[in-house]
């Protein structure tokens, strides 16, 4: 049992309430407590990551396990996969919050912003740690309800409209997820993820099994905004304050969407060829269609939003290929490569997409526009924004030596080794399309002839915003080290093992 585990949820929850209460009494209290909270959480996550050593830890809330060790209590589980997600969530959260110190000053009700920010982090931390479906749902709702409010934070017409659309589709997703959880509980009499696996292993009708899986794919597919469940994402991500866009695209769609899908389909359900084909197909469709939709965008944040759909397609496709290869049983190294590539690309996407949304926020901060046609000639006026956005653009496009090149390469090599030649070809083509629309972004924002405001009157953004972008740009290079086998064995292999070896998760959760 690890006593630090519940603090990942408790600390940001307490901070959110303190900001609301004490923020009214102490001027600027929220600008001190919120960044300090995220810094403490990141230090804790890194400590857990370095001390976990390939093992897993479980915390039973209130110390209550149940008679005879029966898993009826609330369990939080820290393993190789969840600790990686904690590091991503709290790292991007800290950077986005530091960026917000300057960016959010133009808004009113700053204290509410920081309190909601802490709540969204608390919810995401809870989602990745939950060992049972009901509390996973509770934490999911904490994070998404906070995100609804943050999308509408500017209280303008477009923000409120985007938030309303997000709430409607988010509510539909929550209904589908809750229905699936109810059906699972009705059949198994448990909500513990590992215990559900053991009960379902005893045998249930295939129609029930498939129906529940389809409900979960639809619900969490909406949360992850994979096509065809993506309608809310372009409006929400483009209308939200840019630090929130970085959080939504960088970590939220992963924590409450992709992560949960992966966790449940690897650690709760038994693999099936039909569902694996559905997951892989959804990933391929998202990868291709998202890139084509991004190509025709002129609103820079909508371009980035559609790009997120495309990049998540790579991740979903990689995990789908991994399941298919594990089902075949004759090429486990390719399956491990595909799953590792998917996890690696999740980490990379959090960094370079978070950076790109911060770049877009800097452009909007100085120009009051997101239209690429109204920009131009900013490379000298905004050198930090220009340089860091170029690095992020090359990374997401898969250009070496940036991190995106290596994660995409691993996925493509896994597809070739697994004889998914069409998928490998599509991955390469989509990467070329990605390069095309990010070159468009670079040309029209930084190197085209200026249109609109005089460039000489524009200057670089304040230090907190500049530093945040530089930090993530450095990470785009540093994360390339994960391609080194010895490094990936230390960082990625524990996460891969807990997914492909179900008994590791099961023993941790119910073998107490």
Q: Kindly report the CA angle at 75 between 12 and 64, in degrees rounded to 5?
A: 110
Which tops the pLDDT comparison, 37 or 512? 37
Kindly give, in sequence order, each residue whose CB lies less than 8 Å from that of residue 29, ignoring residues fewer than 6 positions away: 18, 19, 22, 23, 111
Q: What confidence tens digit (pLDDT) does each residue in 89-112 have? A: 999 999 999 999 888 887 777 888
Cβ-count burial of 46 within 10 angstroms (0-12 exposed, 13-18 middle, 19+ buried)?
Answer: middle
Distance CA 146, CA 120 (A): 6
Domain ranges of the chain: 7-510
End-to-end Cα distance, the chain: 9
pLDDT at 193: 84
- What CA–CA distance (Å, rounded) separates 250 from 245? 8
CA distance 429 to 162: 31
* Packing angle, helices 332-367 and 80-103, rounded to 10: 10
Residues near 400 by beta carbon (within 8 Å), at least 6 away in sequence = 406
Question: What average pLDDT does this structure show over 414-438?
Answer: 93
Continuous segment of H or E residues that includes residue 316:
helix 300-328
Q: What is the mean pLDDT of residues 281-294?
A: 93
Tell me what the mean pLDDT of segment 197-204 comes to: 72
For 99-140, the DSSP string reads: HHHHHGGGSS-HHHHHHHHHHHHHHHHHHHHB-BHHHHHHHH
pLDDT above 70: residue 334: yes
Is 124 within 8 Å of 143 (Cβ atoms)? yes
Average pLDDT over residues 475-492: 90
pLDDT above 50 (res 476) = yes
Give all strands (DSSP E) within 199-333, no chain letters: none
Give the residue ranges of DSSP H helices in 4-109: 7-22, 29-52, 80-103
Q: How confident is the model at residue 506 (pLDDT cuts 50, 70, 90)?
A: low
Do 283 and 226 touch, CB atoms closer than 8 A?
yes
HSE-CB for 424 with a 13 A CA cutoff? 13
State CA 336 to chain mean position distance.
21
Residue 330 phi/psi, 5° resolution? -115, 5
- What pLDDT, on a 0 to 100 scale, did the predictor assign at position 66? 58
pLDDT at 512: 46
Q: Which of the pair, 447 or 89, is modelled with greater confidence?
A: 89
Q: What is the pLDDT of residue 36?
A: 93
The predicted pLDDT at position 63 comes to 61
Average pLDDT of the residues of the chain: 87
Q: Per-residue pLDDT for 202 more than 80? A: no
pLDDT band, very low/low/confident/very high, at 199 (cuts 50, 70, 90): confident
511 has a pLDDT exceeding 60: no
How far, in Å, are 61, 185, 264 from residue 192 at the CA level?
A: 13, 9, 11
**Contact yes or no for 345/311 (Cβ under 8 A):** yes
The radius of gyration of the chain from alpha carbons, rounded to an integer in Å, stands at 22
Q: Residue 498: its pLDDT value, please?
A: 87
Distance, in Å, from the CA atom of 391 to the CA atom of 396, rounded to the nearest integer, reads 9
**For residue 162, is pLDDT > 90?**
no
Q: Residue 40 — pLDDT band, cuts 50, 70, 90?
A: very high
What is d(CA 349, CA 411) in angstroms, rounded to the nearest whole number?
14
For 347-396, what is each residue's pLDDT tens digit? 999 999 999 999 999 998 888 888 888 887 888 888 999 999 999 999 99
Average pLDDT, integer, range 66-90: 80
Question: Which range, 34-43, 225-234, 374-383, has the best average confidence (pLDDT)?
Answer: 34-43
- How do residues 106-127 score in pLDDT, each as one tens digit? 777 788 889 999 999 999 999 9
Two structure tokens written together for 433: 């399309």
What three-state secondary structure class fits 230?
A: coil
- Residue 260 or residue 454, greater confidence: 260
CB-side neighbour CA atoms (13 Å) of 410 = 29
Token pair listed for 17 = 């309430």
pLDDT confidence band for 332 (50 / 70 / 90): confident
Count of CB atoms within 10 A of residue 85's CB?
26
With b for 16 or more beta-carbon neighbours within 10 A and e for fewer, the 231-259 pattern comes to ebbbbbbbbbbbbbbbbbbbbbbbbbbbb
């Amino acid at each position: 049992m690890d006593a630090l585990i519940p603090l990942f949820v408790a600390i940001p929850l307490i901070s959110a309430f303190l900001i609301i209460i004490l923020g009214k009494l102490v001027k600027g209290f929220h600008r001190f407590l919120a960044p300090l909270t995220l810094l403490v959480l990141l230090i804790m996550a890194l400590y857990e990551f370095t001390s976990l050593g390939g093992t897993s830890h479980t915390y039973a809330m209130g110390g209550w396990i149940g008679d005879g060790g029966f898993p009826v209590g609330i369990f939080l589980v820290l393993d190789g996969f969840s600790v990686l997600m904690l590091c991503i969530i709290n790292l991007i959260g800290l950077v986005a919050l530091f960026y917000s110190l300057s960016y959010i000053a133009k808004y009113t009700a700053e204290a509410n912003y920081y309190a909601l920010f802490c709540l969204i982090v608390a919810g995401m931390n809870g989602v990745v740690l939950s060992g049972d479906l009901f509390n996973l749902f509770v934490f999911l709702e904490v994070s998404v309800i906070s995100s609804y409010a943050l999308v509408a934070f500017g209280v303008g017409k477009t923000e409120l409209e985007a938030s309303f659309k997000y709430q409607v589709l988010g509510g539909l997703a929550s209904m589908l997820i809750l229905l699936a959880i109810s059906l699972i509980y009705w059949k198994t009499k448990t909500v513990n993820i590992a215990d559900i696996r053991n009960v379902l292993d005893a045998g249930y009708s295939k129609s029930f099994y498939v129906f529940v899986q389809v409900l979960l794919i639809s619900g969490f597919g909406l949360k992850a905004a994979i096509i065809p469940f993506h309608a809310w994402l372009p409006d929400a991500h483009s209308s939200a304050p840019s630090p929130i866009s970085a959080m939504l695209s960088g970590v939220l769609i992963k924590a409450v969407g992709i992560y949960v899908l992966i966790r449940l389909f690897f650690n709760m359900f038994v693999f099936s060829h039909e569902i694996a084909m559905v997951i892989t197909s959804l990933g391929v469709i998202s990868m291709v269609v998202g890139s084509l939709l991004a190509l025709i965008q002129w609103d820079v944040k909508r371009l980035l939003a559609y790009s997120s759909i495309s990049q998540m397609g790579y991740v979903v496709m990689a995990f789908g290929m991994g399941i298919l290869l594990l089902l075949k049983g004759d090429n486990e190294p390719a399956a491990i490569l595909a799953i590792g590539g998917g996890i690696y690309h999740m980490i990379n996407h959090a960094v370079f997409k978070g950076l790109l949304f911060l770049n877009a926020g800097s452009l909007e901060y100085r120009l009051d526009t997101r239209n690429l046609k109204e920009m131009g000639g900013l490379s000298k006026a905004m050198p930090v924004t220009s340089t860091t956005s170029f690095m992020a653009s090359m990374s997401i496009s898969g250009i070496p030596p940036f991190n995106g090149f290596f994660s995409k390469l691993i996925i493509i090599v896994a597809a070739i080794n697994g004889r998914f030649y069409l998928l490998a070809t599509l991955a390469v083509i989509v990467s070329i399309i990605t390069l095309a629309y990010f070159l468009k972004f670079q040309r029209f924002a930084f190197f085209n002839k200026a249109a609109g405001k005089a460039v000489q009157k524009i200057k670089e953004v304040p230090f907190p915003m500049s530093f945040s972008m530089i930090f993530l740009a450095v990470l785009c290079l540093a994360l390339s080290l994960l391609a080194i086998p010895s490094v990936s064995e230390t960082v990625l292999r524990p996460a891969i093992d807990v997914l492909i070896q179900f008994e590791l998760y099961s023993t941790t959760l119910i073998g107490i």
